[in-house]
Amino acid sequence: MFRRILKEVKQYTLPSIITPIAMIIEVVAELLIPYFMGWIIDRGIKNPDESLRMQNILLYGGLMIAMALIGLIGGMLGGRFGAMASTGLARNLRETMYNTIQNFSFSNIDKFSTSGLVTRMTTDITNIQQAYQMMLRITVRAPLTMIIALILAFRINSRIAVIYLIALGILAIVMFTIMMTAMPFFRQAFPKYDALNESVQENVSAIRVVKAYVREKQETEKFHNASNAIYKIFTKAEGRVAYNWPILSLIAYTCIIIISWRGSKMIVGGIDGMTTGQLASLLSYCMSILFSMMMVAMVFVMLSMSFASMERVAEVLNEVPDITNPENPVMEVADGSIVFKNVEFSYHKEGGEPVLRDIDLEIKSGETIGIMGATGSSKSSLVNLISRLYDADEGEVIVGGHNVKEYDLEALRNQVSVVLQKNVLFSGSIYENLRWGNKDATDEECREACRMACADDFISSFPDGYDTHIEQGGTNVSGGQKQRLCIARALLKKPKILILDDSTSAVDTATDARIRKAFKEAIPGTTKIIIAQRISSIQEADRIIVLDDGKINAFDTHENLVANNEIYREVYESQTGGSGDFDETEVG
Protein backbone atom coordinates (compact mmCIF):
# COMPACT_ATOMS: atom_id res chain seq x y z
CA MET A 1 0.00 0.00 0.00
CA PHE A 2 2.74 2.50 0.99
CA ARG A 3 4.82 1.56 -2.03
CA ARG A 4 1.85 2.10 -4.35
CA ILE A 5 1.05 5.53 -2.87
CA LEU A 6 4.67 6.70 -2.75
CA LYS A 7 5.09 5.64 -6.37
CA GLU A 8 3.07 8.74 -7.25
CA VAL A 9 5.71 11.10 -5.77
CA LYS A 10 7.43 10.92 -9.20
CA GLN A 11 8.84 14.34 -10.15
CA TYR A 12 8.55 15.56 -6.56
CA THR A 13 11.26 13.25 -5.23
CA LEU A 14 13.81 16.08 -4.89
CA PRO A 15 11.47 18.34 -2.83
CA SER A 16 10.67 15.26 -0.72
CA ILE A 17 14.40 14.88 0.03
CA ILE A 18 15.09 18.59 0.59
CA THR A 19 12.22 18.99 3.09
CA PRO A 20 13.52 16.67 5.84
CA ILE A 21 17.08 18.02 5.35
CA ALA A 22 15.74 21.55 5.82
CA MET A 23 13.84 20.42 8.93
CA ILE A 24 17.03 18.92 10.41
CA ILE A 25 18.85 22.24 9.87
CA GLU A 26 15.95 24.13 11.49
CA VAL A 27 15.83 21.83 14.52
CA VAL A 28 19.58 21.89 15.15
CA ALA A 29 19.71 25.68 14.80
CA GLU A 30 16.72 26.24 17.12
CA LEU A 31 18.02 23.91 19.83
CA LEU A 32 21.45 25.54 19.87
CA ILE A 33 19.87 28.88 20.78
CA PRO A 34 19.06 27.89 24.43
CA TYR A 35 22.54 26.37 24.68
CA PHE A 36 24.17 29.66 23.65
CA MET A 37 21.73 31.53 25.88
CA GLY A 38 23.16 29.68 28.87
CA TRP A 39 26.66 30.69 27.78
CA ILE A 40 25.60 34.35 27.54
CA ILE A 41 24.42 34.21 31.13
CA ASP A 42 27.39 32.28 32.55
CA ARG A 43 30.24 33.55 30.35
CA GLY A 44 28.87 36.99 29.56
CA ILE A 45 26.47 38.58 32.03
CA LYS A 46 28.00 36.83 35.09
CA ASN A 47 31.58 37.00 33.86
CA PRO A 48 33.71 38.80 36.52
CA ASP A 49 36.14 39.99 33.83
CA GLU A 50 34.63 43.17 32.45
CA SER A 51 36.78 43.07 29.30
CA LEU A 52 35.43 39.60 28.38
CA ARG A 53 31.86 40.23 29.51
CA MET A 54 30.73 42.36 26.57
CA GLN A 55 32.90 40.40 24.15
CA ASN A 56 31.17 37.12 25.11
CA ILE A 57 27.72 38.72 25.10
CA LEU A 58 28.30 39.95 21.54
CA LEU A 59 29.87 36.65 20.46
CA TYR A 60 27.17 34.35 21.81
CA GLY A 61 24.40 36.84 20.99
CA GLY A 62 25.68 36.90 17.43
CA LEU A 63 25.68 33.09 17.38
CA MET A 64 22.08 33.09 18.64
CA ILE A 65 21.05 35.50 15.88
CA ALA A 66 22.88 33.39 13.31
CA MET A 67 21.13 30.22 14.56
CA ALA A 68 17.78 32.02 14.46
CA LEU A 69 18.39 33.07 10.84
CA ILE A 70 19.58 29.58 9.85
CA GLY A 71 16.52 28.08 11.57
CA LEU A 72 14.26 30.57 9.80
CA ILE A 73 15.75 29.69 6.40
CA GLY A 74 15.50 25.97 7.18
CA GLY A 75 11.85 26.39 8.24
CA MET A 76 11.00 28.39 5.12
CA LEU A 77 12.66 25.86 2.84
CA GLY A 78 10.97 23.00 4.68
CA GLY A 79 7.56 24.67 4.37
CA ARG A 80 8.03 25.53 0.70
CA PHE A 81 9.37 22.18 -0.47
CA GLY A 82 7.09 20.23 1.88
CA ALA A 83 4.04 21.95 0.40
CA MET A 84 5.38 21.36 -3.11
CA ALA A 85 5.96 17.65 -2.45
CA SER A 86 2.65 16.99 -0.67
CA THR A 87 0.44 18.91 -3.11
CA GLY A 88 2.36 17.33 -5.98
CA LEU A 89 1.70 13.87 -4.57
CA ALA A 90 -2.01 14.73 -4.21
CA ARG A 91 -2.16 15.99 -7.80
CA ASN A 92 -0.46 12.86 -9.14
CA LEU A 93 -2.73 10.62 -7.10
CA ARG A 94 -5.86 12.34 -8.42
CA GLU A 95 -4.66 12.20 -12.01
CA THR A 96 -3.57 8.57 -11.75
CA MET A 97 -6.82 7.57 -10.05
CA TYR A 98 -8.89 9.43 -12.63
CA ASN A 99 -6.95 7.82 -15.50
CA THR A 100 -7.28 4.42 -13.83
CA ILE A 101 -11.04 4.83 -13.58
CA GLN A 102 -11.19 5.81 -17.26
CA ASN A 103 -9.58 2.47 -18.13
CA PHE A 104 -12.02 0.46 -16.02
CA SER A 105 -14.44 -1.85 -17.73
CA PHE A 106 -18.08 -1.78 -16.64
CA SER A 107 -17.40 -4.73 -14.34
CA ASN A 108 -14.63 -2.78 -12.58
CA ILE A 109 -16.84 0.28 -12.16
CA ASP A 110 -19.60 -1.89 -10.70
CA LYS A 111 -17.35 -2.61 -7.68
CA PHE A 112 -17.34 1.01 -6.52
CA SER A 113 -20.12 3.47 -5.78
CA THR A 114 -19.95 6.87 -7.45
CA SER A 115 -20.01 8.65 -4.09
CA GLY A 116 -17.22 6.37 -2.84
CA LEU A 117 -15.00 7.28 -5.80
CA VAL A 118 -15.71 11.00 -5.25
CA THR A 119 -14.77 10.72 -1.57
CA ARG A 120 -11.57 8.88 -2.46
CA MET A 121 -10.56 11.58 -4.96
CA THR A 122 -11.34 14.45 -2.56
CA THR A 123 -11.38 13.74 1.19
CA ASP A 124 -9.11 10.69 1.17
CA ILE A 125 -6.44 12.22 -1.05
CA THR A 126 -6.53 15.43 1.01
CA ASN A 127 -5.86 13.31 4.12
CA ILE A 128 -2.95 11.63 2.35
CA GLN A 129 -1.60 15.02 1.28
CA GLN A 130 -1.68 16.33 4.85
CA ALA A 131 -0.16 13.13 6.21
CA TYR A 132 2.67 13.21 3.67
CA GLN A 133 3.50 16.80 4.57
CA MET A 134 3.51 15.84 8.23
CA MET A 135 5.76 12.89 7.49
CA LEU A 136 8.26 15.11 5.71
CA ARG A 137 8.18 17.90 8.29
CA ILE A 138 6.74 17.07 11.72
CA THR A 139 7.67 13.38 11.65
CA VAL A 140 11.28 14.51 11.15
CA ARG A 141 11.13 17.61 13.33
CA ALA A 142 9.37 16.26 16.44
CA PRO A 143 11.46 13.13 17.15
CA LEU A 144 14.68 14.93 16.17
CA THR A 145 13.87 17.87 18.47
CA MET A 146 13.17 15.50 21.32
CA ILE A 147 16.36 13.49 20.81
CA ILE A 148 18.71 16.46 20.34
CA ALA A 149 17.12 18.36 23.26
CA LEU A 150 17.58 15.32 25.49
CA ILE A 151 21.22 14.95 24.42
CA LEU A 152 21.93 18.60 25.14
CA ALA A 153 20.05 18.40 28.46
CA PHE A 154 22.12 15.38 29.57
CA ARG A 155 25.24 17.19 28.40
CA ILE A 156 24.35 20.11 30.69
CA ASN A 157 23.29 18.06 33.73
CA SER A 158 22.37 14.38 33.68
CA ARG A 159 20.74 14.43 37.15
CA ILE A 160 18.13 16.96 36.11
CA ALA A 161 17.78 15.54 32.58
CA VAL A 162 16.49 12.27 34.10
CA ILE A 163 13.34 14.20 35.06
CA TYR A 164 12.61 14.60 31.35
CA LEU A 165 12.80 10.85 30.79
CA ILE A 166 10.34 10.19 33.60
CA ALA A 167 7.96 12.88 32.25
CA LEU A 168 8.27 11.46 28.72
CA GLY A 169 7.41 7.98 29.93
CA ILE A 170 4.27 9.20 31.73
CA LEU A 171 3.25 11.38 28.76
CA ALA A 172 3.81 8.54 26.28
CA ILE A 173 1.54 6.16 28.24
CA VAL A 174 -1.23 8.77 28.58
CA MET A 175 -1.07 9.86 24.95
CA PHE A 176 -0.95 6.31 23.63
CA THR A 177 -4.11 5.52 25.61
CA ILE A 178 -5.87 8.62 24.28
CA MET A 179 -4.84 7.92 20.69
CA MET A 180 -5.92 4.30 20.83
CA THR A 181 -9.40 5.32 21.97
CA ALA A 182 -9.67 8.08 19.33
CA MET A 183 -8.39 6.19 16.27
CA PRO A 184 -11.43 3.88 15.78
CA PHE A 185 -13.70 6.93 15.54
CA PHE A 186 -11.50 8.56 12.89
CA ARG A 187 -11.55 5.38 10.82
CA GLN A 188 -15.35 5.15 11.04
CA ALA A 189 -15.69 8.62 9.55
CA PHE A 190 -14.80 7.78 5.94
CA PRO A 191 -17.77 5.51 5.13
CA LYS A 192 -19.93 8.30 6.57
CA TYR A 193 -18.40 10.71 4.06
CA ASP A 194 -19.46 8.29 1.31
CA ALA A 195 -23.04 8.40 2.59
CA LEU A 196 -22.95 12.21 2.75
CA ASN A 197 -21.64 12.52 -0.81
CA GLU A 198 -24.21 10.00 -2.01
CA SER A 199 -27.00 12.05 -0.45
CA VAL A 200 -25.78 15.26 -2.11
CA GLN A 201 -25.23 13.59 -5.48
CA GLU A 202 -28.64 11.92 -5.57
CA ASN A 203 -30.45 15.05 -4.46
CA VAL A 204 -28.76 17.41 -6.93
CA SER A 205 -28.96 15.07 -9.94
CA ALA A 206 -32.60 14.20 -9.23
CA ILE A 207 -33.76 17.60 -7.95
CA ARG A 208 -36.69 17.65 -10.39
CA VAL A 209 -37.96 14.31 -9.11
CA VAL A 210 -37.52 15.50 -5.52
CA LYS A 211 -39.63 18.57 -6.18
CA ALA A 212 -42.19 16.69 -8.27
CA TYR A 213 -42.85 14.34 -5.36
CA VAL A 214 -42.51 17.09 -2.73
CA ARG A 215 -39.72 15.19 -0.98
CA GLU A 216 -37.60 18.21 0.01
CA LYS A 217 -38.24 17.66 3.71
CA GLN A 218 -37.33 13.96 3.58
CA GLU A 219 -34.18 14.64 1.52
CA THR A 220 -33.16 17.43 3.87
CA GLU A 221 -33.61 15.08 6.81
CA LYS A 222 -31.56 12.39 5.00
CA PHE A 223 -28.72 14.88 4.45
CA HIS A 224 -28.99 16.08 8.06
CA ASN A 225 -28.68 12.51 9.33
CA ALA A 226 -25.60 11.85 7.17
CA SER A 227 -23.99 15.13 8.22
CA ASN A 228 -24.89 14.57 11.87
CA ALA A 229 -23.32 11.10 11.79
CA ILE A 230 -19.98 12.65 10.76
CA TYR A 231 -20.39 15.35 13.41
CA LYS A 232 -20.97 12.79 16.18
CA ILE A 233 -17.99 10.64 15.18
CA PHE A 234 -15.58 13.58 15.01
CA THR A 235 -16.96 15.02 18.25
CA LYS A 236 -16.16 11.75 20.01
CA ALA A 237 -12.71 11.53 18.43
CA GLU A 238 -11.75 15.17 18.99
CA GLY A 239 -13.21 15.00 22.50
CA ARG A 240 -10.62 12.39 23.40
CA VAL A 241 -7.77 14.11 21.56
CA ALA A 242 -8.63 17.34 23.39
CA TYR A 243 -7.21 15.85 26.60
CA ASN A 244 -3.72 15.96 25.06
CA TRP A 245 -3.01 19.63 25.64
CA PRO A 246 -4.20 19.91 29.28
CA ILE A 247 -2.23 16.79 30.21
CA LEU A 248 0.85 18.08 28.40
CA SER A 249 0.55 21.43 30.17
CA LEU A 250 0.18 19.73 33.56
CA ILE A 251 3.26 17.55 33.02
CA ALA A 252 5.28 20.43 31.53
CA TYR A 253 4.57 22.87 34.36
CA THR A 254 5.20 20.14 36.91
CA CYS A 255 8.59 19.52 35.27
CA ILE A 256 9.39 23.24 35.32
CA ILE A 257 8.57 23.46 39.02
CA ILE A 258 10.64 20.38 39.88
CA ILE A 259 13.60 21.46 37.71
CA SER A 260 13.49 25.01 39.11
CA TRP A 261 13.39 23.73 42.68
CA ARG A 262 16.07 21.10 42.19
CA GLY A 263 18.25 23.31 39.99
CA SER A 264 18.10 26.21 42.44
CA LYS A 265 19.20 23.94 45.27
CA MET A 266 22.09 22.67 43.16
CA ILE A 267 23.16 26.25 42.27
CA VAL A 268 23.00 27.41 45.88
CA GLY A 269 24.76 24.27 47.14
CA GLY A 270 27.34 24.32 44.36
CA ILE A 271 26.43 20.74 43.38
CA ASP A 272 27.85 19.46 40.05
CA GLY A 273 28.94 23.00 39.16
CA MET A 274 25.35 23.89 38.28
CA THR A 275 25.04 27.49 37.00
CA THR A 276 22.17 29.92 36.41
CA GLY A 277 22.74 29.80 32.66
CA GLN A 278 22.55 26.01 32.60
CA LEU A 279 19.28 26.09 34.55
CA ALA A 280 17.84 28.58 32.05
CA SER A 281 18.86 26.27 29.17
CA LEU A 282 17.30 23.24 30.86
CA LEU A 283 14.02 25.09 31.39
CA SER A 284 13.96 26.05 27.70
CA TYR A 285 14.45 22.42 26.67
CA CYS A 286 11.57 21.31 28.89
CA MET A 287 8.84 22.65 26.59
CA SER A 288 10.74 21.58 23.47
CA ILE A 289 10.97 17.97 24.63
CA LEU A 290 7.40 17.60 25.91
CA PHE A 291 5.80 19.54 23.06
CA SER A 292 7.66 17.33 20.59
CA MET A 293 6.24 14.31 22.36
CA MET A 294 2.74 15.63 21.88
CA MET A 295 3.45 16.33 18.23
CA VAL A 296 4.60 12.72 17.80
CA ALA A 297 1.26 11.63 19.25
CA MET A 298 -0.67 13.91 16.88
CA VAL A 299 1.34 12.62 13.92
CA PHE A 300 0.41 9.13 15.05
CA VAL A 301 -3.28 10.09 14.91
CA MET A 302 -2.96 11.75 11.52
CA LEU A 303 -1.09 8.81 10.06
CA SER A 304 -3.68 6.43 11.48
CA MET A 305 -6.41 8.42 9.77
CA SER A 306 -4.43 8.49 6.55
CA PHE A 307 -3.91 4.71 6.66
CA ALA A 308 -7.64 4.24 6.10
CA SER A 309 -7.50 6.79 3.27
CA MET A 310 -4.44 5.11 1.76
CA GLU A 311 -6.19 1.75 1.79
CA ARG A 312 -9.22 3.21 0.00
CA VAL A 313 -7.12 5.02 -2.61
CA ALA A 314 -4.80 2.05 -3.15
CA GLU A 315 -7.88 -0.16 -3.62
CA VAL A 316 -8.79 1.86 -6.71
CA LEU A 317 -5.21 2.20 -7.99
CA ASN A 318 -4.58 -1.53 -7.61
CA GLU A 319 -7.81 -2.50 -9.35
CA VAL A 320 -6.77 -4.25 -12.54
CA PRO A 321 -9.03 -3.52 -15.54
CA ASP A 322 -10.83 -6.70 -16.55
CA ILE A 323 -10.73 -5.67 -20.19
CA THR A 324 -7.42 -4.72 -21.82
CA ASN A 325 -5.92 -4.60 -25.29
CA PRO A 326 -4.22 -7.73 -26.65
CA GLU A 327 -0.51 -7.60 -27.51
CA ASN A 328 -1.01 -7.28 -31.27
CA PRO A 329 -4.54 -5.96 -31.64
CA VAL A 330 -6.57 -5.87 -34.82
CA MET A 331 -6.95 -2.19 -35.70
CA GLU A 332 -9.74 -2.28 -38.28
CA VAL A 333 -13.25 -3.73 -38.20
CA ALA A 334 -13.92 -5.20 -41.63
CA ASP A 335 -17.74 -5.09 -41.60
CA GLY A 336 -20.75 -5.13 -39.30
CA SER A 337 -21.28 -8.89 -39.15
CA ILE A 338 -21.88 -10.32 -35.65
CA VAL A 339 -21.68 -13.92 -34.45
CA PHE A 340 -22.37 -15.26 -30.95
CA LYS A 341 -21.02 -18.77 -30.37
CA ASN A 342 -22.31 -20.58 -27.27
CA VAL A 343 -21.99 -17.40 -25.16
CA GLU A 344 -22.58 -17.35 -21.43
CA PHE A 345 -22.24 -14.25 -19.26
CA SER A 346 -22.54 -13.37 -15.57
CA TYR A 347 -21.96 -10.04 -13.80
CA HIS A 348 -20.52 -11.86 -10.80
CA LYS A 349 -17.71 -14.11 -11.95
CA GLU A 350 -17.44 -16.12 -8.75
CA GLY A 351 -20.58 -18.07 -8.11
CA GLY A 352 -22.84 -15.62 -9.91
CA GLU A 353 -25.92 -16.81 -11.74
CA PRO A 354 -25.49 -16.34 -15.55
CA VAL A 355 -27.73 -13.65 -17.03
CA LEU A 356 -27.09 -14.91 -20.56
CA ARG A 357 -26.94 -18.62 -21.42
CA ASP A 358 -26.47 -20.65 -24.60
CA ILE A 359 -26.48 -17.62 -26.91
CA ASP A 360 -25.94 -18.69 -30.53
CA LEU A 361 -26.84 -16.31 -33.34
CA GLU A 362 -25.48 -14.90 -36.58
CA ILE A 363 -26.17 -11.41 -37.93
CA LYS A 364 -25.14 -10.35 -41.41
CA SER A 365 -23.51 -7.01 -42.08
CA GLY A 366 -26.10 -4.34 -42.89
CA GLU A 367 -29.05 -6.17 -41.34
CA THR A 368 -31.54 -4.44 -39.09
CA ILE A 369 -32.13 -6.58 -36.03
CA GLY A 370 -34.77 -5.99 -33.39
CA ILE A 371 -34.51 -7.26 -29.82
CA MET A 372 -37.46 -7.53 -27.49
CA GLY A 373 -38.12 -9.25 -24.21
CA ALA A 374 -39.50 -8.66 -20.76
CA THR A 375 -37.75 -6.41 -18.26
CA GLY A 376 -34.75 -8.29 -16.88
CA SER A 377 -34.39 -10.59 -19.87
CA SER A 378 -30.80 -9.28 -20.39
CA LYS A 379 -31.33 -7.35 -23.62
CA SER A 380 -28.78 -4.67 -22.66
CA SER A 381 -26.36 -7.33 -21.41
CA LEU A 382 -26.42 -8.98 -24.83
CA VAL A 383 -25.51 -5.85 -26.81
CA ASN A 384 -22.90 -4.75 -24.24
CA LEU A 385 -20.84 -7.78 -25.23
CA ILE A 386 -20.64 -6.59 -28.86
CA SER A 387 -18.63 -3.44 -28.05
CA ARG A 388 -16.79 -5.33 -25.31
CA LEU A 389 -18.10 -3.25 -22.45
CA TYR A 390 -18.13 -6.63 -20.70
CA ASP A 391 -16.40 -9.89 -21.64
CA ALA A 392 -18.28 -13.14 -22.06
CA ASP A 393 -17.48 -15.81 -19.46
CA GLU A 394 -17.72 -18.58 -22.03
CA GLY A 395 -17.98 -18.75 -25.81
CA GLU A 396 -17.05 -16.17 -28.42
CA VAL A 397 -18.41 -12.86 -29.66
CA ILE A 398 -17.18 -12.27 -33.22
CA VAL A 399 -17.46 -8.91 -34.99
CA GLY A 400 -16.25 -8.40 -38.56
CA GLY A 401 -14.71 -11.86 -38.62
CA HIS A 402 -12.61 -11.46 -35.45
CA ASN A 403 -13.20 -12.23 -31.80
CA VAL A 404 -13.85 -8.92 -30.02
CA LYS A 405 -10.96 -9.76 -27.68
CA GLU A 406 -8.57 -9.52 -30.62
CA TYR A 407 -9.42 -5.89 -31.41
CA ASP A 408 -7.89 -2.68 -30.17
CA LEU A 409 -10.57 -1.39 -27.78
CA GLU A 410 -10.67 2.09 -29.30
CA ALA A 411 -10.84 0.75 -32.85
CA LEU A 412 -13.69 -1.63 -31.94
CA ARG A 413 -15.75 0.92 -30.00
CA ASN A 414 -15.33 3.54 -32.71
CA GLN A 415 -17.03 1.14 -35.12
CA VAL A 416 -19.69 -0.08 -32.68
CA SER A 417 -21.70 2.99 -31.79
CA VAL A 418 -24.01 2.53 -28.80
CA VAL A 419 -26.86 4.78 -27.72
CA LEU A 420 -27.32 3.56 -24.18
CA GLN A 421 -30.59 3.23 -22.32
CA LYS A 422 -29.60 6.07 -19.99
CA ASN A 423 -28.81 8.94 -22.33
CA VAL A 424 -26.20 11.40 -21.08
CA LEU A 425 -25.38 14.87 -22.38
CA PHE A 426 -22.55 17.01 -21.08
CA SER A 427 -22.37 20.70 -20.29
CA GLY A 428 -21.45 22.65 -23.41
CA SER A 429 -23.02 23.63 -26.72
CA ILE A 430 -25.03 21.24 -28.90
CA TYR A 431 -22.15 21.25 -31.38
CA GLU A 432 -19.71 20.24 -28.61
CA ASN A 433 -21.98 17.39 -27.52
CA LEU A 434 -22.42 16.14 -31.08
CA ARG A 435 -18.67 16.15 -31.70
CA TRP A 436 -18.22 13.56 -28.96
CA GLY A 437 -19.11 11.24 -31.83
CA ASN A 438 -16.50 12.78 -34.14
CA LYS A 439 -14.32 15.64 -32.93
CA ASP A 440 -13.48 16.61 -36.53
CA ALA A 441 -17.08 16.67 -37.79
CA THR A 442 -18.00 19.76 -39.79
CA ASP A 443 -21.07 21.87 -38.99
CA GLU A 444 -22.85 20.40 -42.01
CA GLU A 445 -22.07 16.82 -40.92
CA CYS A 446 -23.49 17.61 -37.48
CA ARG A 447 -26.66 19.03 -39.06
CA GLU A 448 -27.03 16.03 -41.37
CA ALA A 449 -26.74 13.61 -38.42
CA CYS A 450 -29.38 15.65 -36.57
CA ARG A 451 -31.69 15.56 -39.59
CA MET A 452 -31.39 11.75 -39.64
CA ALA A 453 -32.16 11.66 -35.90
CA CYS A 454 -35.10 14.09 -36.34
CA ALA A 455 -33.34 16.58 -34.06
CA ASP A 456 -32.74 19.41 -36.55
CA ASP A 457 -36.26 20.84 -36.24
CA PHE A 458 -36.25 21.42 -32.50
CA ILE A 459 -32.60 22.60 -32.51
CA SER A 460 -33.43 25.20 -35.16
CA SER A 461 -36.25 26.49 -32.95
CA PHE A 462 -33.78 27.43 -30.20
CA PRO A 463 -32.64 31.09 -30.27
CA ASP A 464 -28.98 30.04 -30.45
CA GLY A 465 -29.58 27.01 -32.66
CA TYR A 466 -26.67 24.56 -32.58
CA ASP A 467 -24.74 26.88 -30.25
CA THR A 468 -27.40 26.44 -27.55
CA HIS A 469 -25.78 25.63 -24.22
CA ILE A 470 -26.71 22.26 -22.76
CA GLU A 471 -26.75 22.14 -18.98
CA GLN A 472 -24.98 19.32 -17.15
CA GLY A 473 -26.87 16.08 -17.75
CA GLY A 474 -29.04 17.76 -20.43
CA THR A 475 -31.51 19.07 -17.88
CA ASN A 476 -32.65 21.92 -20.14
CA VAL A 477 -33.93 19.62 -22.92
CA SER A 478 -36.73 17.09 -22.85
CA GLY A 479 -36.21 13.34 -22.66
CA GLY A 480 -37.11 12.86 -26.32
CA GLN A 481 -34.83 15.70 -27.41
CA LYS A 482 -32.01 14.25 -25.36
CA GLN A 483 -32.49 10.84 -27.00
CA ARG A 484 -32.41 12.30 -30.51
CA LEU A 485 -29.24 14.30 -29.76
CA CYS A 486 -27.58 11.12 -28.47
CA ILE A 487 -28.63 9.24 -31.62
CA ALA A 488 -27.17 12.02 -33.79
CA ARG A 489 -23.97 11.90 -31.78
CA ALA A 490 -23.71 8.15 -32.39
CA LEU A 491 -24.35 8.57 -36.13
CA LEU A 492 -21.46 11.02 -36.45
CA LYS A 493 -19.09 8.15 -35.68
CA LYS A 494 -20.20 6.58 -38.98
CA PRO A 495 -20.08 3.14 -37.35
CA LYS A 496 -20.33 -0.25 -38.95
CA ILE A 497 -22.68 -1.33 -36.13
CA LEU A 498 -25.29 0.97 -34.53
CA ILE A 499 -26.97 -0.17 -31.33
CA LEU A 500 -30.06 1.63 -30.02
CA ASP A 501 -30.73 0.38 -26.50
CA ASP A 502 -34.36 1.43 -25.99
CA SER A 503 -33.17 4.89 -27.01
CA THR A 504 -36.35 6.05 -28.73
CA SER A 505 -38.69 5.28 -25.84
CA ALA A 506 -39.22 8.98 -25.09
CA VAL A 507 -40.13 9.99 -28.66
CA ASP A 508 -43.54 9.60 -30.26
CA THR A 509 -44.19 6.75 -32.67
CA ALA A 510 -44.27 9.05 -35.71
CA THR A 511 -40.81 10.45 -34.95
CA ASP A 512 -39.58 6.94 -34.14
CA ALA A 513 -40.74 5.77 -37.58
CA ARG A 514 -39.06 8.71 -39.34
CA ILE A 515 -35.77 7.96 -37.56
CA ARG A 516 -35.88 4.34 -38.67
CA LYS A 517 -36.80 5.38 -42.23
CA ALA A 518 -33.78 7.71 -42.30
CA PHE A 519 -31.54 4.88 -41.07
CA LYS A 520 -32.78 2.57 -43.82
CA GLU A 521 -32.11 5.13 -46.55
CA ALA A 522 -28.94 6.86 -45.29
CA ILE A 523 -26.92 4.04 -43.70
CA PRO A 524 -27.99 0.82 -45.46
CA GLY A 525 -24.56 -0.78 -44.98
CA THR A 526 -24.56 -0.28 -41.20
CA THR A 527 -25.76 -3.15 -39.03
CA LYS A 528 -28.55 -1.75 -36.86
CA ILE A 529 -29.62 -3.40 -33.61
CA ILE A 530 -32.72 -1.90 -32.01
CA ILE A 531 -33.82 -2.82 -28.51
CA ALA A 532 -37.41 -1.71 -27.95
CA GLN A 533 -40.52 -2.43 -25.95
CA ARG A 534 -42.79 -1.18 -28.75
CA ILE A 535 -43.45 -3.71 -31.49
CA SER A 536 -43.86 -0.83 -33.96
CA SER A 537 -40.20 0.10 -33.41
CA ILE A 538 -38.90 -3.29 -34.56
CA GLN A 539 -41.55 -4.95 -36.72
CA GLU A 540 -39.91 -3.78 -39.97
CA ALA A 541 -36.55 -5.20 -38.91
CA ASP A 542 -35.05 -7.95 -41.06
CA ARG A 543 -35.20 -10.29 -38.05
CA ILE A 544 -36.17 -10.01 -34.41
CA ILE A 545 -34.58 -11.69 -31.37
CA VAL A 546 -36.98 -12.67 -28.61
CA LEU A 547 -35.13 -12.97 -25.30
CA ASP A 548 -36.62 -14.80 -22.35
CA ASP A 549 -34.79 -15.19 -19.04
CA GLY A 550 -31.36 -14.74 -20.63
CA LYS A 551 -31.96 -17.20 -23.48
CA ILE A 552 -32.94 -16.75 -27.13
CA ASN A 553 -36.52 -17.90 -27.32
CA ALA A 554 -36.87 -17.10 -31.02
CA PHE A 555 -35.03 -15.35 -33.86
CA ASP A 556 -37.15 -14.70 -36.94
CA THR A 557 -39.10 -12.15 -38.94
CA HIS A 558 -42.05 -10.22 -37.52
CA GLU A 559 -44.60 -12.18 -39.52
CA ASN A 560 -43.22 -15.57 -38.52
CA LEU A 561 -42.97 -14.57 -34.88
CA VAL A 562 -46.58 -13.37 -34.79
CA ALA A 563 -47.62 -16.68 -36.29
CA ASN A 564 -45.38 -19.04 -34.34
CA ASN A 565 -44.01 -17.45 -31.14
CA GLU A 566 -46.31 -17.21 -28.15
CA ILE A 567 -44.25 -14.55 -26.27
CA TYR A 568 -43.98 -12.22 -29.25
CA ARG A 569 -47.60 -12.70 -30.29
CA GLU A 570 -48.84 -11.93 -26.80
CA VAL A 571 -46.89 -8.64 -26.73
CA TYR A 572 -48.01 -7.77 -30.26
CA GLU A 573 -51.67 -8.37 -29.49
CA SER A 574 -51.49 -6.44 -26.22
CA GLN A 575 -50.12 -3.41 -28.09
CA THR A 576 -52.35 -3.55 -31.16
CA GLY A 577 -55.52 -5.15 -29.86
CA GLY A 578 -56.52 -2.21 -27.63
CA SER A 579 -56.46 1.37 -28.80
CA GLY A 580 -54.02 0.34 -31.52
CA ASP A 581 -50.46 1.35 -32.15
CA PHE A 582 -49.22 3.86 -34.70
CA ASP A 583 -49.81 3.05 -38.35
CA GLU A 584 -46.40 3.52 -39.93
CA THR A 585 -47.79 3.41 -43.48
CA GLU A 586 -48.94 6.97 -42.94
CA VAL A 587 -45.36 8.17 -42.57
CA GLY A 588 -43.86 9.40 -45.85
pLDDT in tens, 12-23: 999 999 999 999
Contact 113, 195 (CB under 8 A): no
Residue-level length of the chain: 588
If you average pLDDT over every residue of the chain, what do you get? 85
| Other Cβ atoms within 10 Å of 149 Cβ, number | 27
Across 274-281, average pLDDT: 83
**Euclidean distance between CA atoms 11 and 552, whole angstroms:** 55
Is residue 585 over pLDDT 60?
A: no
Give the confidence band of 94 by pLDDT, cuts at 50, 70, 90.
very high
Is residue 583 over pLDDT 50?
A: no
What confidence score (pLDDT) does residue 234 get?
Answer: 80
**Euclidean distance between CA atoms 177 and 409, whole angstroms:** 54
- The full DSSP string for 495-543 is -SEEEEESTTTTS-HHHHHHHHHHHHHH-TTSEEEEE-S-HHHHTTSSE
Mean pLDDT check: name the lowest of 38-47, 308-317, 557-566: 38-47
Percent of the chain residues topping a pLDDT of 70: 96
Is residue 283 over pLDDT 80?
A: yes
pLDDT in tens, 479-493: 888 888 998 998 888
pTM beyond 0.85, yes or no: no
Phi (first) and psi of residue 370, to 5 degrees: -100, 150
Class of residue 430 by CB neighbours under 10 A (exposed 0-12, middle 13-18, buried 19+): buried
pLDDT in tens, 38-79: 888 888 787 777 778 888 888 888 999 999 999 999 999 999
| Other Cβ atoms within 10 Å of 121 Cβ, number | 18
Give the confidence band of 578 by pLDDT, cuts at 50, 70, 90.
very low
Across 177-200, average pLDDT: 76
